[in-house]
A and B are shown apart, each in its own frame.
Chain A
Amino acid sequence: MLKLITNNMNLYNTVRNGEFIDGSSLSVLIRVRSLVHLGSKILTHPLCGNLRPNHQPFRSVIIDEKSGPADLESLSLIEDAVRVYQSCKLIMPEEIDEATLKDYAYIDSELMKESLIQFSLLTHNP
């Protein structure tokens, strides 16, 4: 079953089937990795967008949730993505002002929109 894993509440509120992660971008990737270990397949690139992890407080990944043997392509993608995050020594600034945070959430939603439409997961515009 198709599902969006995200820590972006705006986006979570617009999808048919989602799982909200109350945590960082890395928490989203680690949750996706666990689901991949259980057999889920990744449908969108976990590093979409063009910002370093410390500039990307929101992450969203669409998966096909299944149980069974791990899909090797998904596993390699998610492990690489987690590695990129862990190698980034700069962590997110502790305080981000509201306007900037809104911009980050907006861009994350925008980058996922096309894919959510493609997979018929969007109920209304973020």
Chain B
Amino acid sequence: MKLELHRLNVKSLKFAEKTGFADGVLSVNKAELLSLIAEDPLLGKNLDVDLAMPGESVRIMPVKDVIEPRWKIEGKGQIFPGLLSDVETVGEGKTLVLSGAAVLTAGKLVRFQEGIIDMSGPGADYTPYSKTCNVVLVLEPSDPNMDKHDYEKACRMAGLKAAAYLAKSCADVKADSVEVYEQANIREGMNNLPGLPKVGYLYMLQTQGLLHDTYLYGVDVKKILPTFLSPLEVMDGAIVSGNCVSACDKNSTYSHQNNPVIADMLKRHGKDFNFIGCIVTNENVTLADKRRSSTYATKLAAMLGLDGLVITEEGFGNPDADLIMNCWKAERLGIKTALLTDEYAGQDGASQSLADSCPEGDACVTAGNANEVIKLPAMKKVIGYAQEADVIAGGWNGSLADDGSITVELQAITGSTSELGYTKLGAYTL
């Protein structure tokens, strides 16, 4: 399997008569993009598209999802299979990427669930999406009493459509850079690198219900048994987020497309270990589902003869139980594990960080304490609805002050404690 990512480096955005890319500027025909989104009868009349650039005094809230514009210019299938395009397997050929650009979906859904993105100020340091040039879709349902599943889907689809539209409109531009990724089939993969440990990636996805769901090739992941996936499929949008709870540690569609665990494992493949592939699993509510999925996922790892597993969690509380089951079940099968999670250790950091634990979980990386409190100063412009700060997860009554500043836990900031490690904050080896 071979995938080329053809990158156009987006450094700026502007509204223009024609959507396209030149000299680092992504031009957006607002009317055309709006009419594309408005085709969905589930969305209302007061839709808007706005632009937000790094460093601007802009706050965007409530944010549902972040999506990187991509479009397949060669090869089987198309971006976001099973949702936007047909169900053909992706991960091969050439994919155009508008690097540095992102589509954000914003608008009220269920009031306390979505996140905040500040483009400047102290809050900007905590979200990677303050560094992207953002095309923001401000959405509303056509009927205020619409079923929330229908509206969630409409928002999700609007984001995917916009991301595909933007990239497709730039498909004839020559890439600024090309990255080539190759993944051997399992037979070759197993024999290729004798002497190096075989390592897999156990990719846990949030799957508890409305606003807590994730889709794999369009299939609701809570309904799957754990399955095997090439990391290259993920880059073409095989995994799409349908959740935004809580904003700090939800894996946005953007962070799936750019999963840094996959990127790093591919880099170290052949040097430190032999990266065999990804096992995708869910985080359901019933204990029977948890036991079934953790047993099945670790069984797949054992069948592949893996020596080690990197495990990433999505969310906290209920998923902590899945993380811990995955950990000890793998370890007891002789597979070493390294866990990536975040912490809910209270505002003073003194409480136990996870709702579950096991002695086998002795290699654990944290993305930060989501309960840490931050004061976000007022911004000159708010895209969306600032009053939602009072009810958004991580906020509380009185979070929004009269001067426009907001005091919240990091929980409320989109991607601030990403459990895929897609964050700008951390310790670096110099």
Chain A: which residue is nearest B350 at the CB level?
Answer: A87
> Assuming A80-B355, A103-B112, A114-B285, is B393 touching A51 (CB within 8 A)?
yes
Among candidates B148, B318, B351, residue contacting A45 with C-beta atoms closer than 8 Å = B318
In the docked arrangement, what's the CA distance between A48 and B288, Å?
A: 14
Main DSSP-derived SS at the B contact region:
loop
The answer to whether B112 touches A100, judged by C-beta atoms less than 8 angstroms apart, is yes
B335-360: CB near A (< 8 Å → 1, else 0) gives: 00000000010111001100110000
In the docked arrangement, what's the CA distance between A51 and B286, Å?
A: 18
Closest chain A CB from B144 CB (angstroms): 11
Residues from chain A with a CB closer than 8 A to the CB of B31 are none
Query: B397: CB under 8 A from chain A?
Result: yes
Among candidates A47, A88, A113, A118, residue contacting B318 with C-beta atoms closer than 8 Å = A47
| Number of residues of chain A lying within 8 A (CB) of chain B | 39
The answer to whether B315 touches A87, judged by C-beta atoms less than 8 angstroms apart, is no
The answer to whether B317 touches A111, judged by C-beta atoms less than 8 angstroms apart, is no
Residues from chain B with a CB closer than 8 A to the CB of A48 are 208, 285, 317-318
Among candidates A45, A54, A88, A111, residue contacting B321 with C-beta atoms closer than 8 Å = A45
Chain B: which residue is nearest A83 at the CB level?
Answer: B352
Among candidates A50, A89, A106, residue contacting B206 with C-beta atoms closer than 8 Å = A50
> Assuming A48-B208, A83-B352, A114-B222, is B317 touching A106 (CB within 8 A)?
no
In the docked arrangement, what's the CA distance between A49 and B208, Å?
A: 7
Residues from chain B with a CB closer than 8 A to the CB of A73 are 287
Query: A66: CB under 8 A from chain B?
Result: no
Query: B110: CB under 8 A from chain A?
Result: yes
> Assuming A99-B111, A113-B209, is B346 touching A89 (CB within 8 A)?
yes
In the docked arrangement, what's the CA distance between A80 and B285, Å?
A: 16
A10-45: CB near B (< 8 Å → 1, else 0) gives: 000000000000000000000000000000001111
In the docked arrangement, what's the CA distance between A80 and B355, Å?
A: 6
Interface-centre pick from B148, B209, B210, B288 (highest chain A CB count, 10 A): B209
Query: B33: CB under 8 A from chain A?
Result: no
The answer to whether B112 touches A95, judged by C-beta atoms less than 8 angstroms apart, is no
| Number of residues of chain B lying within 8 A (CB) of chain A | 43
Closest chain B CB from A89 CB (angstroms): 6
Chain A: which residue is nearest B206 at the CB level?
Answer: A50
Residues from chain A with a CB closer than 8 A to the CB of B216 are none
Chain A: which residue is nearest B396 at the CB level?
Answer: A93
In the docked arrangement, what's the CA distance between A99 and B390, Å?
A: 13
A73-100: CB near B (< 8 Å → 1, else 0) gives: 1000100110110011110010100011
A114-126: CB near B (< 8 Å → 1, else 0) gives: 1100110000000
> Assuming A50-B317, A52-B344, A111-B285, is B352 touching A87 (CB within 8 A)?
yes
Q: Which of B315-336 contact A (CB under 8 A)?
A: 315-321
The answer to whether B110 touches A106, judged by C-beta atoms less than 8 angstroms apart, is yes
Query: B70: CB under 8 A from chain A?
Result: no
Interface residues of B (CB under 8 A from A): 110-113, 148, 206, 208-212, 222, 245-246, 284-288, 290, 315-321, 344, 346-348, 351-352, 355-356, 371, 391, 393-394, 396-397, 409, 411
Interface residues of A (CB under 8 A from B): 42-45, 47-52, 54-55, 62, 73, 77, 80-81, 83-84, 87-90, 93, 95, 99-100, 103-104, 106-107, 110-115, 118-119
7 closest A-B pairs by CB: A47-B317, A87-B351, A93-B397, A50-B245, A110-B210, A111-B209, A45-B318
